[in-house]
């Protein structure tokens, strides 16, 4: 993929771009299709979500125990037009009312990304609207700044200002980042092998609990005893902020192999999930504690600690991070539950944030299966 093709004009903060000529908020249509959700949303620059449709393909992939890229691409093709139409209907808008079109241009499963991106490009060209190439990870990273009117707990009500310390944990990524500004990310630590979401998914699969594993393990863990089994905490005795989850996965496999089928009752599964989840929580708090002592972080003085990505739905991770933030006199912020896993609103919001600083596509863009946040 040709990076030069992604032209991002950096005009720095041009606040005149927050409202259109009539002083009405800017309306952005965002499209997400990088994994197993086809989603669209209309978000305005005053942080209102006017329409939001998430078509989840999870039932189509469940029997395979994970996402099958070809099936996902086909399902995106079949769904994308209808999802956009329903989103416009829900918002009571037509495409002519929309000021900006944004779509995920990577990273992700390239078949799906292409479908959302080509759809957005087609609409933007046909209607002569500005187009924003959104990095999916930036969608996760910035959505905590989109305060939702449906906010129910204090963590979703925080006004998140730059710079902030971000724990980005999804199915594909596990990173600690300093978010300096839109498009300005500094990597503090990242996983050397699996992501946290992958660890949840793989352990759930081993236990025969289904896909995706994160929410199932989370629910089981609430019923279990987290002290019954001991799983390793890889790298936690070492300095630095990197993660490793493959050792926890291997330990889970070994524990399962030595437990006869007859002993794998409900209590065993619940205790297993609780003990496994505690090891992931401990790794996250250990690595974040090191990040808070990192010179780069100390110098930036972030006031808020933020969690985002699908794994941010995890109740134990949210509360452990909130406790850690309090200990360090920081605020804690997290997106509302429906904006943690993949969704169109985070893409529309990242579209608005990029539009405000003039990051508008000027030439055809080639979507990218890999696109690290540090390469924006
Ligand atoms: O951000 P996301 O929707 O997709 C990617 O961009 O990868 O994240 C999906 C991941 C899956 O691995 C899923 O198991 C995990 O988020 N997840 C959770 C929870 N809900 C979703 N992990 C732990 N606890 C949860 N409650
Ligand atoms: Zn995601």
- Show pLDDT as tens, one digit a residue, over the chain (376 residues): 233 322 222 222 233 456 776 788 999 999 999 999 999 999 999 999 999 999 999 888 888 888 999 999 999 999 999 999 999 999 999 999 999 999 999 999 999 999 999 999 999 999 999 999 999 999 999 999 997 555 567 788 889 999 999 999 999 999 999 999 999 999 999 999 999 999 999 999 999 999 899 999 999 999 999 999 999 999 999 999 999 999 999 999 999 999 999 999 999 999 999 999 999 999 999 999 999 999 999 999 999 999 999 999 999 999 999 999 999 999 999 999 999 999 999 999 999 999 999 999 999 899 999 999 999 9
Distance CA 365, CA 103 (A): 11
- Answer whether 215 contacts ligand 1 (Cβ < 6 A): yes
Give residue-wise pLDDT tens across range 318-356: 999 999 999 999 999 999 999 999 999 999 999 999 999
Contact 309, 34 (CB under 8 A): no
Which of 341, 342, 369 best tests ligand 1's pocket when mutated (most atoms within 8 Å of CB)?
Answer: 341
> How far does the centroid of ligand 2 lie from the alpha carbon of residue 186, in Å?
19
Q: What is the pLDDT of residue 65?
A: 85
Which of 201, 311, 350 best tests ligand 1's pocket when mutated (most atoms within 8 Å of CB)?
Answer: 311
Backbone angles phi and psi of 19, in degrees to 5 = -130, 155
Q: What is the pLDDT of residue 21?
A: 64
Q: What is the pLDDT of residue 156?
A: 80
Query: Whole-prediction pTM value?
Result: 0.93
Q: What is the pLDDT of residue 15?
A: 39
Distance CA 283, CA 196 (A): 10
Reported as type and span, the H/E element at residue 90 is: helix 69-91
Nearest CA to ligand 1 atom 22: 214
Q: What is the pLDDT of residue 152?
A: 61
Contact 367, 106 (CB under 8 A): yes
* Domains detected in the chain: 3-151+339-375 (3.30.420.40), 156-335 (3.30.420.40)
Residue 317, both tokens? 């991770």
- Answer whether 214 contacts ligand 1 (Cβ < 6 A): yes
Distance CA 67, CA 149 (A): 32
> How far does the centroid of ligand 2 lie from the alpha carbon of residue 174, in Å?
11
Q: What is the pLDDT of residue 151?
A: 58
- Answer whether 172 contacts ligand 1 (Cβ < 6 A): yes
Contact 284, 320 (CB under 8 A): yes
Residue 178, both tokens? 């300093």
Rg from Cα positions in the chain: 21
Distance CA 192, CA 174 (A): 9
- Answer whether 245 contacts ligand 1 (Cβ < 6 A): no
The residues, ordered by sequence, that sit 6+ positions from 157 with a Cβ below 8 Å of its Cβ are 147, 151
């Amino acid at each position: 993929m040709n990076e030069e093709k992604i032209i991002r004009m950096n005009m720095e903060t041009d606040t005149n771009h927050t409202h259109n000529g009539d002083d009405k908020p800017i309306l952005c249509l965002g499209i997400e299709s990088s994994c197993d959700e086809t989603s669209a949303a209309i978000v305005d620059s005053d942080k209102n979500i006017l329409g939001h449709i998430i078509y989840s393909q999870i039932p189509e992939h469940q029997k395979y125990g994970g996402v099958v890229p070809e099936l996902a691409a086909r399902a995106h093709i079949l769904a994308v037009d209808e999802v956009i139409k329903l989103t416009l209907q829900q918002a009571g808008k037509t495409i002519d009312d929309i000021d900006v079109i944004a779509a995920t241009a990577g990273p992700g499963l390239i078949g799906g990304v292409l479908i959302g991106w080509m759809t957005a490009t087609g609409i933007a060209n046909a209607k002569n609207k500005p187009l924003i190439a959104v990095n999916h990870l930036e969608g996760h990273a910035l959505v905590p700044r989109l305060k939702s009117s449906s906010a129910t707990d204090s963590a979703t009500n925080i006004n998140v200002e730059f710079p902030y310390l971000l724990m980005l944990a999804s199915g594909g990524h596990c990173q600690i980042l300093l978010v300096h500004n839109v498009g300005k990310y500094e990597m503090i630590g990242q996983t050397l092998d699996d992501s946290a979401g992958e660890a949840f998914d793989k352990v759930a699969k081993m236990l025969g609990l289904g896909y995706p594993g994160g929410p199932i393990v989370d629910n089981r863990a609430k019923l279990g005893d987290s002290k019954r089994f001991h799983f390793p905490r890889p790298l936690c005795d070492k300095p630095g902020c990197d993660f490793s989850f493959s050792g926890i996965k291997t330990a889970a496999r070994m524990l399962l192999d030595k437990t006869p089928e007859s002993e794998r009752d409900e209590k065993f599964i619940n205790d297993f999930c609780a003990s496994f989840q505690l090891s992931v929580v401990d790794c996250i708090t250990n690595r974040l504690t090191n990040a808070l002592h990192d010179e780069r972080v100390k110098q930036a003085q972030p006031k808020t600690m933020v969690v985002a990505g699908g794994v941010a739905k995890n109740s134990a991770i949210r509360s452990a991070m909130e406790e850690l933030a309090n200990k360090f006199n920081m605020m804690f912020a997290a997106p509302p539950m429906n904006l943690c896993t993949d969704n169109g609103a985070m893409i529309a919001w990242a579209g608005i944030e990029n539009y405000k600083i003039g990051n508008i596509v000027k030439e055809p863009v080639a979507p990218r299966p890999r696109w690290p946040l540090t390469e924006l």
